[in-house]
Amino acid sequence: MKSRLDDLFDFACSEVREEDFRVFCPKDPGDMSYVALCAGVLANKQIPENVDPEWFEIFGIAQRGSPEQASHADRFIRFKLFCGAVAAKFLLVEPGLDTVVIVNYVCCSLVQSARAIENRELTQILLEVFPALAKEMEDYRAPSGWVVQEYPFCLLSGMLMAEDLADQGRVADLAEQLLKAEEQVREESFFPGHEFLLGLTNYDSLHLDWLAFASSLANPAKDANIMAVKSKLEKVERWRSEKGA
């Protein structure tokens, strides 16, 4: 797991420069330097031992923001990838970081980055990273008994990467895992929403993106598990209706 996550981190670091952080990081409040946080990771090629809560603001820009200038679109995608890789490394160290690192946002931004960059090596790395991250978070239990409710999003992300690599066998395998994981988390969760997968989290800013991702699953072999995942997500109307409101 660590080797492939390291590969993702190294790939992401090779795609950005410190100037990108100066363009895209939020304006610094007081003495805190968001640019310094990112530049430190890039220079040292490792994440810090302690997760500074200010990363939440940086990740928020990368995951849910957009470049102010259209000419910066390509650079912003690589900034998004870098932030996603850093966030994934944080999750491996401490899966229970949902106040700073929101799992479904991390997964969504990494999928968006990979699809925009269209690099087969990156897609292959993520295909291996996503299921392994899911396993790490599945096994996590806080002393209070709290579990990581969002880890099934990693499995849907893996399906999407396998789809992009035309590996339908892997898509089907991950679909089966997703169906089982979603059911398991639903049983252990506190007050889950009734919507399949999307109801497992209150962090729903990117749920419309997830619904669009699900519609991109082709399923040429009519695999029953892939069909079930697509059908369950296609029946979700809440965020679609809110978008149109």
| pLDDT per position as a tens digit, 66-117 | 998 999 999 999 999 999 999 999 888 776 666 668 899 999 999 999 999 9
| pLDDT tens-digit map of 14-73 | 999 999 999 999 776 644 589 999 999 999 999 988 788 888 889 999 999 899 899 999
pTM above 0.75, yes or no: yes
Residues 6 or more apart from 220 whose CB is under 8 A from it? Answer: 168
Total domain count, the chain: 1
Cα within 13 Å of Cα(193), Cβ side? 15
The answer to whether 87 and 52 have CB atoms below 8 angstroms apart is no
Give the three-state DSSP class for 206.
Answer: coil
The answer to whether 56 and 34 have CB atoms below 8 angstroms apart is no
Range of the domain at 56: 2-244
Give the number of other CB atoms < 10 A from CB of residue 114: 25
Burial classification of residue 37, based on how many CB atoms lie within 10 Å of its CB (0-12 exposed, 13-18 middle, 19 or more buried):
buried
